[in-house]
Structure 1
Amino acid sequence: MSTESGEPLPRLRLDDLLDELHARIGAVRSTRDRVQSLLQAVLDVGRGLELSQVLHRVVEAAVTLADAEYGALGVIGEDRNLSAFVPVGMSDEIQERIGPLPRGHGLLGTLIQCPEPVRTADVAGHPDFRGFPEHHPPMRSFLGVPIRVRDEVFGNLYLTNRRGAPEFDAEDEAVVSALAVAAGVAIDNARLYEDARRRETWLAAAAEITSALLADRPQTEVLRMVTRHALRNVSADLGAVLVRADGAQVLRTAVAVGEGAELFAGLRPLPRAGPLAAAFTGCGAVVVDDLSRELRAGEELGLGAAVLVPLGAAGPARGVLLLARGKGRASFGTAETGPLVGFAAQAAVGIELAERRKHARRTATEEERERVMDDLHDVAVQRLFALGMGLEALRRLVRYPPEAVERLTRLVDDVDTTIKLISSAVLRLRLREQPGVSTLWARVAATVEQAAGPLGLTPVLRMEGIPDGATPGPVADQVTGVLTEALDNVARHARARSVDVHLVAGDGMLAVDVTDDGTGIPEGVVLGGLADLEVRAAALGGGLVLETPPGGGTRLRWRVPLTGHPRPTT
């Protein structure tokens, strides 16, 4: 016999089983048919490896052998209460009317505390009986037998209402006890099979996460995958990843999956305290019996048992994986939290490695870009400048024919324009390397780039001596507004084929020049936006001048006083 993955399962402990069965059958004083029924029941409970099905078959076999009206199997959890309850003989409607399944108190708890067979003719007369819940069917005779798996008590068989007799006798006890031995072996094998399948499920989930990281999926998508796999593998109702909110002592929800995910994700930042703080600073799972006691969100969403696992291998975690079940559901046991901790740690390491790999690639790209920019600035531009000077010298020597002179003049202008374009591109690339820095340089470059769409071309940008951090706040704020208005006017009215933006700081003044080769401003037309620019300049002690360059078009010159020391030319 083997698992679906081909892994062999341990053989049934046949020697132990036969010895125990021989001892139990020796106590049975019944017909040959009953012995045959016991042997058949032993074979039946050993069929299949699905734990839930094995448990149900055990109860059905016990009810049949003891001729009981009702039967149940209670699984003992780590808290010594019943973590699962498998009833037989009671309809779903009655179970729903009764309400939550028993937790293992009263007479049921007696077997948990003292795992020995218990028989009584009248359950209500037993000293440990605490009464039945509302809508519970009447029960009198009772037989309880523990089920051991290896050296631990796995749970107990409960049988009530012996048919055809006022109570269960010693023979019933012996038969059911013999069945409990076989059930223990079958349950052990089913649990081993279930553990093997669970490991395969976790491994498959880890493999999928690794594949997503290697494919450079967005981190939010990867975290959602981690949460979804964990939610399914531990049978939780809600899963979420919580991270620090900008380094503060509060947490925000990065992703949420499951029932009430949208509501949970929309909550205000959660306090980093209690179990949340313990999960961030610890290295293992933090199990919470009732999340509603720790978080108001847990009460609003009807959440009960929860487990919090750090997303990190060592030291303060980068985040916390929260998994919660609805109220009334069982708490999380070590069989679930153990693999979960390993999975979360493995996922966190994968995310960390992926981020470092991206950072390394980004650094290499930035270094290559810097090298290219240096080459453009130090080599290409200088050679173009030398070429332009050579062409200019040649133009002075050539007097005839006029077409050659005109052609040389255009070539000199083209070289000059190319130098401006390369210098502008290098400047913009260098500013992009610091996207988080809100300097005057960066703001001007961003404004010029945004204007490229409406203009249908990319303006040439040059900045000389811009003092950046030393620029007064009011002046820096006005510069972007002036550029926006000036470029917008060019886009709407000029029909230009080229636009130059030139910022110069020197002699205590800041000058913003915007030059285009468009149609110019028609006579008699007053642009309201230009009047506004003049008002802005006057408010800062400066002025606005409109000029028509020799080749046509329009040049806007906006100048204001500048305090501080100008920077070197860039």
Structure 2
Amino acid sequence: MRLDELLDELQVRIDAVRGTRDRVHSLLEAVVSVGRELDLAQVLRRIVEAAALLVDAEYGALGVIGPDGRTLSQFLTVGLTEEAIAEIGPLPAGHGLLGEVIHHPEPLRLTDLGAHSSSYGFPPHHPPMRTFLGVPIRVREEVFGNLYLTDKRGGVDFDPEDETVISTLSVAAGVAIDNARLYEGAQRQQRWLKANAEITESLLSGSSRPAVLELIARRAQEITGARIADISMPVPAADGLFVEFAAGPDSRTRQGLVVPVAGTLSGAAHRTGQPVTAVLAPDDDRYPDDAQTQGWLGPAVAVPLGTAGGDSRGVLLLARPAGEPVFGETELEPLVAFAGQAAIALELAERRRDAEQIALLEERDRIARDLHDLAIQRLFATGMTLQSAARLVEHEGAAERVSRAVDDLDETIKIIRSTIFGLRTKDRESGPGLRARAARAVGDAATALGHPPRLSMEGLLDTDVPSEIADHVMAALGELLSNAARHAGATRVAVALKAEPGEIVLTVSDNGRGIPAQGRRSGLRNLDDRAQGLGGTFTVDTPDGGGSRLVWRAPLPTGG
């Protein structure tokens, strides 16, 4: 019997050794699997999957600590289906028991997590959990995040060996994360350098300003993985920013917006000249008036387009979907450098445009001098010669013909002088385009309204709309904004200006008290007369939700 007992004990120890061997092999395989990846997102996913497998946990999660060091900016789970995650709702931010491991970065093992003092229950639709094991992950002595494991299969508790295994995995995970971050940083830096070179090449090849702006926004969107990328420029003589280019979903809605400097993410970056970040842009109380960020957006950053210590020439706004990583310091540094390079590119484009304008004016002046000094003088001399010759012609018909030729020469001289005057006054008569004039008018109206109107513009407003029609459009816009400020009592005003084939349409809508039936309508009559004088129309509607909607239309010339 004693021999049987010794054999049984030996078998138990052999099984234990085999179990330890198998676990060590599994741990080594997990370490190799985690270290093999270079993509940071894949590394994080491999870590949490390997951890749950090593300790036979039903549920696992990896929480990445945000820049503030107190909350979670990213949360990856294992064991929950997509449907279950959607039913639970927003991912945890790192409060309660999860925050306990953040504030005290040491392994934490519990038999019943609900009994811990930091636990305050689960949200609705969350599966019940009992046992718990939390271990921090350090990267170069800095706590990167935490591994959370719950419900060891078989209904048993996590033991000290499980804690040792996960702690060992966390060390390897820290090295793998560090390698992935270094690789990702090197790749990102290479992409930024390539983008800068592409922008410079685009400028040297003579690309237009809109094309350069689009290139800046697109490349920043691609490199950072942003969902939206907007470039806003300051509105002259107004405390607002005009969204000159927008990329991503709802770009047509955002492009043309005039957002205030106060109470917006872009405005804060423009005012301070420093990058400004938000962990969850739509819920950030610092920016209550930000119309560029939507409810489905998450982390965002606004970077001023300017050199270090210089004034902001505009703002680049980037936003990722909800649940994506926040913009950290490692991303901000190359992004700020890229924005500075973009600002230089825009300045070079403006300087080149100014140089081209100066060259054009000089060429006009030269042509005017040549016409005056050469053509007019020679024509005048020819006319004097013909007048003298006419006195010597005895034939009445021939003398009449010479006299008519002299009159034609005088008329030609007048036309050339008029052309010279036109050449020299062209620059004074050509002011800013309709798009810039409309943006300035809407920005100026913010003071009278008490809030910035929403502005959207579509079509070739600066090329397809003749100057005389543009003047009528600006007069109509000014009258409509003035009426909204004086009579509507609205808290929201929207302006839409659209150049369509053969027609320009100006729409101003608000949520105010509407157009009174017996009120003074002299201003509206003037708008109607102005539209009819151009062959257009002016209509006043009351939307279903109240307020007013005023539409002013005028035809545009078509053809070459």
TM-score range, shorter chain: 0.5 to 0.7
SS for the counterpart of 2:76 is: strand
Alpha-carbon offset, residue 104 of structure 1: 1.4
Q: Which amino acid aligns with 2:20?
A: T
Pairing 1:393–2:388 present: yes
Alpha-carbon offset, residue 389 of structure 1: 1.9
Provide Cα deviations, 1:294-334, integer angstroms capped at 9, x if missing partner: 23444983256432221222443222223345666654322
- After TM superposition, the structure 1 = structure 2 runs for residues 293-308 of structure 1, keeping only pairs within 5 Å, are 293=285, 294-298=287-291, 301-302=294-295, 305-308=299-302
For 1:369 and 1:276, locate their aligned partners in 2 and report how far apart those are by CA, in whole Å.
41
- After TM superposition, the structure 1 = structure 2 runs for residues 88-487 of structure 1, keeping only pairs within 5 Å, are 88-164=78-154, 166-265=156-255, 267=257, 269-272=259-262, 277-289=267-279, 290-291=281-282, 293=285, 294-298=287-291, 301-302=294-295, 305-313=299-307, 314-325=309-320, 331-399=326-394, 412-413=406-407, 415-436=409-430
For 2:65 and 2:215, locate their aligned partners in 1 and report how far apart those are by CA, in whole Å.
32
For 1:177 and 1:298, locate their aligned partners in 2 and report how far apart those are by CA, in whole Å.
46
Q: 1:274 to 1:412 in 2, by over 3 A?
A: closer
SS for the counterpart of 2:365 is: helix
Are the aligned partners of 1:291 and 1:306 in contact in 2 as well (CA < 8 Å)? no
Q: 1:196 to 1:123 in 2, by over 3 A?
A: same
For 2:38 and 2:322, locate their aligned partners in 1 and report how far apart those are by CA, in whole Å.
30
For 1:86 and 1:269, locate their aligned partners in 2 and report how far apart those are by CA, in whole Å.
35
Provide Cα deviations, 1:18-70, integer angstroms capped at 9, x if missing partner: xxxxxxxxxx9953222222212111111121111111111122122212212
Are the aligned partners of 2:228 and 2:247 in contact in 1 as well (CA < 8 Å)? yes
For 2:333 and 2:418, locate their aligned partners in 1 and report how far apart those are by CA, in whole Å.
58
Alpha-carbon offset, residue 417 of structure 1: 4.3
For 1:194 and 1:146, locate their aligned partners in 2 and report how far apart those are by CA, in whole Å.
22
Task: State percent identity of aligned pairs.
Answer: 51
Partner of 2:552: none
Q: 1:325 to 1:45 in 2, by over 3 A?
A: closer
Are the aligned partners of 2:260 and 2:289 in contact in 1 as well (CA < 8 Å)? no
Alpha-carbon offset, residue 398 of structure 1: 4.8
Q: 1:398 to 1:267 in 2, by over 3 A?
A: closer
For 1:298 and 1:423, locate their aligned partners in 2 and report how far apart those are by CA, in whole Å.
53
Unaligned runs of 5+ in 1: 1-27, 439-449, 451-570
TM-score (norm 1): 0.65
Alpha-carbon offset, residue 213 of structure 1: 3.0
The number of aligned residues is: 411
Q: Which moved more, 1:416-425 or 1:426-435?
A: 416-425
Larger Cα Rg: Structure 1 or Structure 2? 1
Alpha-carbon offset, residue 232 of structure 1: 3.7
Q: 1:298 to 1:235 in 2, by over 3 A?
A: farther
Q: Which moved more, 1:346-355 or 1:292-301?
A: 292-301
Are the aligned partners of 2:134 and 2:149 in contact in 1 as well (CA < 8 Å)? yes
Alpha-carbon offset, residue 349 of structure 1: 1.1
Q: 1:158 to 1:271 in 2, by over 3 A?
A: closer
Q: 1:58 to 1:268 in 2, by over 3 A?
A: closer
Unaligned runs of 5+ in 2: 1-16, 433-465, 467-560
Give RMSD over aligned pairs.
3.0
Alpha-carbon offset, residue 392 of structure 1: 3.1
Q: Which amino acid aligns with 1:317?
A: S
Are the aligned partners of 1:115 and 1:153 in contact in 2 as well (CA < 8 Å)? yes
SS for the counterpart of 1:46 is: helix
For 1:258 and 1:322, locate their aligned partners in 2 and report how far apart those are by CA, in whole Å.
12
Alpha-carbon offset, residue 153 of structure 1: 1.4
For 1:390 and 1:46, locate their aligned partners in 2 and report how far apart those are by CA, in whole Å.
97
TM-score (norm 2): 0.66
SS for the counterpart of 2:277 is: strand
Provide Cα deviations, 1:230-287, integer angstroms capped at 9, x if missing partner: 3343344443333333322233332333334344446565254675554223232022
Are the aligned partners of 1:291 and 1:299 in contact in 2 as well (CA < 8 Å)? no
